[in-house]
Amino acid sequence: MKNTTNIPAVGWNFDNSYTRLPEKFFTKTNPEPAKTPELIIFNEELAETLGFDAKQLQSEDGVKILAGTEIPEGAEPIAQAYAGHQFGNFTMLGDGRAVLLGEQVAPNGQRFDIQLKGSGRTAYSRGGDGRAALGPMLREYIISEAMHGLGIPTSRSLAVVSTGIPVVRETFLPGAVLTRIASSHLRFGTFQYAAQWGQPEELKSLADYAIDRHYPEVRDTDNPYLELLRNVIARHASLVSKWQLAGFIHGVMNTDNMTISGETIDYGPCAFLDTYETGRVFSSIDQYGRYAYNNQPKITGWNLARFAETLLPLIDEDQAQAIEAAQDLLGDFGNQFQQNWSAGMRAKLGLFGKEEEDESLIDELLKLMHDHKADYTNTFRALTFDKPEETPLAGKAGFAEWHAAWTLRREEQTESPEESHELMRNSNPAIIPRNHRVEEAIEAAVDDQDFSLTRKLVEAVRNPYAYSDGQLAYTEAPPEDEERNFKTYCGT
């Protein structure tokens, strides 16, 4: 056991409920020490939300904790066990390069997992080194903070610390540890693991724990496990609709990367659309487009079905009755997603209420964008300020007719043009973390140890609805050939 560091001013306030589950669900594991830890980027706003003294946590002793070299008082480091369908194939998994220090209870009473990602080998590393390269950790920091700014439920990043230990991928790369913050790391795959290898009472204890932690309102219902499923379905119908509306592609929607809380997690080969292309895939490992942009709602439904299967013994002792009840809920996922997405699209177009012509207005615009390879974010950005001449569709066949129909629909609603504009401004981000900008920042950090581009980019994407002059440089789309050939990698 490494030294336990107690710096009272930092504000550690652990209450580690997960370790009170059966030991089947985790293995006690200490992070491996960093050689020469150096703080690269730190999230002061998040630190203060969690109840930490941001200055103290950035001190030499604080950075040692963020690097995994020292253990704070009250922590109970573990690696979590889970399974999952990876590109459709079921396998045993677990935290192969992450250690959960414990659960920080913030001043407002909320509970957050504090996890060190890239902190060394665990019992679930399966031959891997358990380390992470600096580039992918900076990518997760940038994207997760952008998602938070966009209002999309997400894990967040507290810090990235370089370790001084190189990692070997295709070449030698600088190593780093990301401190990830999540409302929990309970995954669909955690339940798959319990259903496959656990005893019935262990599965029940996990479900009860998930209810108590995330959905306490269902505890006293007639069938809390069915209500757990209902709530998880609703959370993900909302979550994936927000992904689609923002043009976000997760890239690796395996069941172990889907959370019970409904937060986005595990930012590996993720990216945002530049050109609106419904079948777009960025991930180098998604060779058949299983997790393409337009497949994300369908895959979410598939993943939810796998989660539902694990709950069947708890929903009803009669398996046929349990299946019927679960199928009734799963069958409504598509409708919930569509309602959420349609409402979001109407908001992006400044439309209040719901009229018959709205569906065709939305479909026709998206078809125009797809046919003419229009930039997704900048199209809505220009429409927000009613500057059709600045859209990538200006002068294209069919756009003038569409714009006239959209204008008429807005004029007929009782809300004022100012209210419509405000709705659009709050629904259409001025900027997203453009892939070429993210890569530019990462390359500067890895190749030249220049972290200024990363910090500037993070500041810009944290408030994507500001429409400030300082964000203008980040609105530019990449050259067409660069966008077309762009690929992302998982970093393992």
pLDDT score at 232: 98
Locate the DSSP E strands across 121-232.
132-133, 156-162, 167-168, 172-173, 175-182
Spatial separation of the C-alpha atoms in residues 466 and 8, rounded to whole Å: 37
96 burial via Cβ count (<10 Å: 0-12, 13-18, 19+): middle
Model pLDDT for residues 260-275, shown as the tens digit of each residue: 999 999 998 999 999 9
Within-domain flag for 164: yes
User: Quick one: average pLDDT of 427-452?
Assistant: 96
Model pLDDT for residues 39-78, shown as the tens digit of each residue: 999 999 999 999 999 999 999 999 999 999 999 999 999 9
Q: Where among 132, 163, 188 does a domain terminate? A: 188
Within-domain flag for 288: no
User: Quick one: average pLDDT of 409-423?
Assistant: 97
334 Cβ neighbours under 8 A, 6+ residues apart = 297, 301
Interior angle at CA 421, CA 420 and CA 422, nearest 5: 90
Band the pLDDT of 6: cuts 50, 70, 90. very low
Catalytic residue, candidates 256, 274, 286, 358: 256
Q: How far is CA 118 from CA 124, 166, 176, 359, in A?
A: 13, 12, 6, 45
Among 394, 342, 380, residue whose Cα is nearest residue 467: 380
Structural domain boundaries enclosing 18: 4-188
Model pLDDT for residues 355-401, shown as the tens digit of each residue: 999 999 999 999 999 999 999 999 999 999 999 999 989 999 999 99
Count the domains in the chain.
Answer: 2
Are residues 35 and 163 in contact, defined by beta-carbon separation less than 8 angstroms?
yes
Within-domain flag for 327: no
Spatial separation of the C-alpha atoms in residues 205 and 477, rounded to whole Å: 49
Q: Where among 147, 170, 188 does a domain terminate? A: 188
Are residues 266 and 118 in contact, defined by beta-carbon separation less than 8 angstroms?
no
pLDDT score at 492: 53
Within-domain flag for 469: no
Give the SS3 label for residue 451: coil
For residue 483, pLDDT beyond 70: no
Within-domain flag for 244: no
Are residues 180 and 70 in contact, defined by beta-carbon separation less than 8 angstroms?
no
Instruction: Give catalytic status of residue 95 as yes or no.
Output: no
Among 164, 162, 209, 180, residue whose Cα is nearest residue 101: 180
pTM confidence score: 0.95
Phi and psi, residue 86, nearest 5°: -100, 110
Within-domain flag for 111: yes
Model pLDDT for residues 150-209, shown as the tens digit of each residue: 999 999 999 999 999 999 987 899 999 999 999 999 999 999 999 999 999 999 999 999
Least confident of 24-38, 65-79, 469-483: 469-483
Per-residue DSSP letter, 34: P
For residue 325, pLDDT beyond 50: yes
Token pair of 186, please?
Answer: 């309970």
Within-domain flag for 153: yes
Among 343, 315, 314, residue whose Cα is nearest residue 329: 315
Per-residue DSSP letter, 274: S
Among 364, 340, 355, 146, residue whose Cα is nearest residue 244: 340
pLDDT score at 169: 84
Q: Where among 188, 205, 220 does a domain terminate? A: 188
Task: Please state whether beta strands 4-5 and 71-72 pair in parallel, antiparallel, or not at all (unpaired).
Answer: parallel
Within-domain flag for 217: no
